[in-house]
Structure 1
Amino acid sequence: MKILITGSKGMLGNYLQKVLASNHEVIAFDKDDLDIKDKTKSLEVIKKIQPEVIINAAAYNAVDKIEESESDFELAQKVNADAPGILAEIAEELNIVLVQYSTDYIFAGNKKEGYDESDEAKPISKYGETKLAGEENVRKNCDQYYIIRTSRIFGLPGSGEGSKKSFVDTMLWLVNEGGKEKLDVVDEEVSAPTFAFDLANSTKEILESKQDFGTYHIINEGSCTWYEFASEIFKISNKQVVLNKVTTDAFPRPAKRPAFSVLNNNKFKKLRSWQEALGEYLI
């Protein structure tokens, strides 16, 4: 297949290129190469390339900035909501399959048993609102789509402007470079950590096996709080760190986070546990 990847310099974009390049022709663009917010230019470029698949790994996920800054919220609307709709229109016009990524933050976070693919979305942050709007625009504008929701992604940081370290790398940086011997970590907000490599591989398998179009939840199995996540990180890394359990009140943030946002994978094969995936990443 000829596959166009947008957001190529982000964490997931990097892994997608590595995973897909061995079997497929990959054209990878970041925002400096292709402005997916501009329909006219995007249509012109995509018509020339003629891909069979577009994978949109571009996103703006500065959750707290989006909440408190009108300019950041407007940017998030353009990147997370409008651009997927534009790509969906182009995909429909040119008979291209579209892959769009979404997030557990589209849910309210009050369902302890986890969220199924068909559950009603009720975001509690502006970031979640923009990601849900992106989903809705894709469904409205094209028929051949995969919306892949995921959560708490970790892996090697992307190389693009705005790319940030995952929670895993941030914790290790605080100890290795920051010299921290004690850390306060929130023992709340239950979700499923997901290795970007596994997410990229699953995307590849979904495309190659021609799964039914629709919405999927792709996450590593199991769930944890941030404290439990940090405990496993330092256990695998063999780092002696004193971790103190705290509530979310210890770290006030502008945007609300879902308290329980585990995504239930009911439509695709189960992935390995997040602990096993984390072990592969760290060792």
Structure 2
Amino acid sequence: MRNIVLLAPNGQVGFELVHSLAELGYVHCLSRQDVDFTNINMLLARISQHKPDIIVNAAAWTAVDKAETEQEACFILNANLPEALAKLAQQINAWLVHYSSDYVYSGSGTRAWQETDVAEPLSVYGASKLAGDNAIQQYCSKYLIFRTSWIYAARGNNFLLTMLKLAANHDTLNVVADQIGAPTPAKLIAQITALTLAQALHQGRALSGIYHLTTKGEISWYGFAQAIFALARQQGVKLKLEPQRCYAISSTQYPTLAVRPLNSRLSLNKIEQTFNLQLPSWQSQLTLTFIEWQQTVKER
């Protein structure tokens, strides 16, 4: 039985990983309630106690705008921690799984980004994620880095649930329409993590690398919001917001501290070809996640 240490099991992705990783071994969960993730030496000691064959890092600083004013704290979690985990994984010959972001790219153009493209982040958050990616590649020989985008889930704080809440309580809404990407459910990320990790364990370090992991297709935040509202109405969810009262705006009309990439299209060729996968469309995954959300509401 393999020992797996999972950091941050209570986050959106971590919650789903608890279940998907159980197929590969015994999952030891370490949350921020168990240990201070910013005390890296203490955290490494706790990880080492479990003698892991696999370390899965679902911990991250995700407050994109706050990172602009709290750079040091952001880099501790997104850069220093991955570096320390990479060194530990190398020392004990363990696999390291880590999650990165579309924010490492500049967001220019309209072409889907390849894993080999030069990363030029626009924000502190993006720079911190890139620093983490680079450290893992430098210090660890058995790793899977998944760059993903627009993560949401049936629980937690995310775009899907925010839009449903706003549409239930407001009769007008403005949503950014010039940022393009692929909304990706946390459950899909966890499922693909388990599938790819199983192959990596079997085939070895030759499969180490950076992989894009999103749904297929592309949409703007505005288009995604409209799809959410249409699905909600189809499923009988009462909304105060009428379809024609949701307005498309530009990023410049919704200023934020951190600059968001306009083009978050990520090519999936590498992950699909390497692991013989066919990733699903964002539309099908939205439907599945929405149905799951409805079920969780009923169970409350």
Q: TM-score, with normalisation over the residues of structure 2?
A: 0.87
Tell me the alpha carbon deviations over residues 185-235 of structure 1, each in whole angstroms, 9 at most, x when there is no partner: 111111111011111000000111126110100100011111101010011
Check the 8 A contact 2:152/2:183 in 1, yes or no: yes
Return the match for 1:127 from 125, 128, 147: 125
Structure 1: which amino acid aligns with 2:214? I
1:161 paired residue number: none
Check the 8 A contact 1:221/1:270 in 2, yes or no: no
Structure 1: which amino acid aligns with 2:164? L
Check the 8 A contact 1:102/1:149 in 2, yes or no: yes
Check the 8 A contact 1:189/1:226 in 2, yes or no: yes
- Do the aligned partners of residues 8 and 24 (structure 1) sit closer, same or farther apart at CA in structure 2, a change above 3 Å counting? same
Cα shift at 1:39: 4.0
1:265 paired residue number: 268
Q: Which runs of 5+ in 2 are unaligned?
A: 234-238, 272-276, 292-300
Return the match for 1:167 from 159, 167, 170: 159
Return the match for 1:231 from 223, 226, 232: 226
Structure 1: which amino acid aligns with 2:67? I
SS in structure 2 of the partner of residue 215 of structure 1: strand
How many percent identity over aligned positions?
A: 35
Write the distance in 2 (CA, Å) between the matches of 1:272 and 1:3: 27
Q: TM-score, with normalisation over the residues of structure 1?
A: 0.92
Check the 8 A contact 1:10/1:157 in 2, yes or no: no
1:252 paired residue number: 255
Write the distance in 1 (CA, Å) between the matches of 2:78 and 2:285: 27
1:84 paired residue number: 82
* Residue-pair matches, total: 272
Write the distance in 1 (CA, Å) between the matches of 2:155 and 2:88: 30
1:1-283 to 2 correspondences below 5 Å: 1-67=2-68, 69=69, 72-158=70-156, 165-176=157-168, 179-210=169-200, 212-238=207-233, 239=239, 240-241=242-243, 242-268=245-271, 269-283=277-291
Check the 8 A contact 2:24/2:194 in 1, yes or no: no
Which structure dedicates a bigger proportion of its chain to helix?
2
Q: Which runs of 5+ in 1 are unaligned?
A: 159-164
